Amino acid sequence: MSTGIETAGVPDAAIPELVIISGMSGAGRSTAAKCLEDLGWFVVDNLPPALIPTMVELGARSQGNVARIAVVVDVRGRRFFDNLRESLADLESKSVTRRIVFLESSDDALVRRFESVRRPHPLQGDGRIVDGIAAERELLRELRGDADLVIDTSSLNVHELRAKMDAQFAGEEEPELRATVMSFGFKYGLPVDADLVVDMRFLPNPHWVPELRQYTGLNEEVAAYVFNQPGAKEFLDRYAELLRLVQAGYRREGKRYVTIAVGCTGGKHRSVAMSEKLAARLVSEGVETVVVHRDVGRE
């Protein structure tokens, strides 16, 4: 099958920019791809390398509707992996602007990640996870050497990896901040993806008010009870002011996502009411905000 990019009659300006995302399984390829998708890139996951030039050709003929393409290439497509070098050479001969992003991570970090999700490494076969990691490193060694950007995610969380991708691909425009405000119950554990955690247990618990116990913080009576308590409104005002300071810093650092976890004992009353009010403040200040009530209904 020919991999030539047929662009006769297509102006050079219409040929899309291309990013190839590859790297170690478990190192964050999906997160990197999702970040580019959020930035407006057209993302294709697990595309056989031989089809990359065809994808670029289709983008070139889209009349500018597909200006930036990101392709995730990994060992799931290992039958086609030998075609990658041929495709890259073809792209270079056609003056296609392309970058290779390689996601790296230490063996220890990768083993922990695979064990935490209880999934085998795609190359381990009947062996151990470390055997699959070693085989993959050897398979990807040459591609890693050709990468334009190598990101070591060994000690990065999801938000930090997104920040690094944003810094490389967000362009000159100041990235907008997106917030997730999540209510939770301390008795069910802290949210592992929280950037900021606040504790509402300094307020009286509506659980001990019989007529309010069955409801949640989404109920008007419960919310009124919470915000009529000493310190509740003051906390909301001061924390919203603090978040304005944090928002400015996040934007300067190119961080596009923040998760604010608001906790109480069971994640049903105080944290829910405060999360709703806090999210409303953020929205009023132009922050794209999603509210998640993690533990409502868990009892």
Q: Is 108 annotated as a binding residue?
A: no
Helix (H, G, I), strand (E, B) or coil at 120: coil
| Strand residue runs (E) in the chain | 17-23, 42-45, 68-72, 98-104, 149-152, 178-185, 196-199, 257-264, 288-293
Q: Is 24 annotated as a binding residue?
A: yes
Helix (H, G, I), strand (E, B) or coil at 289: strand
Beta-carbon count within 10 A of 160 CB: 15
CA 93 from centre of chain:
33
Q: Is 251 annotated as a binding residue?
A: no
Q: Is 30 annotated as a binding residue?
A: yes
Beta-carbon count within 10 A of 101 CB: 24
Output the six-digit token pair for 258: 């923040």
With a CB cutoff of 8 Å and minimum separation 6, the contacts of 31 are: 158, 161, 162
Q: Indicate the residue type of 234.
A: E
State how far the alpha carbon of 255 is from the alpha carbons of 170, 180, 252, 258, 294, in Å: 10, 13, 8, 8, 24
Q: Is 59 annotated as a binding residue?
A: no
Please name the helix (run of DSSP H) or strand (run of DSSP E) that holds residue 185, with its range, or none.
strand 178-185
Cα atoms in the 13 Å half-sphere on the side-chain side of 256: 21
Please name the helix (run of DSSP H) or strand (run of DSSP E) that holds residue 266, with its range, or none.
none
User: Locate tokens 């047929």: which residue?
Assistant: 6
Q: Is 25 annotated as a binding residue?
A: yes
Q: Is 119 annotated as a binding residue?
A: no
The candidate with the shortest Cα–Cα distance to 278, out of 255, 254, 246, 249, is 246
DSSP 8-state code for residue 72: E
Q: Is 27 annotated as a binding residue?
A: yes
Q: Is 26 annotated as a binding residue?
A: yes
Question: Binding site for ATP, residues?
Answer: 23-30
Question: Binding site for GTP, residues?
Answer: 74-77
Question: Binding site, residues?
Answer: 23-30, 74-77
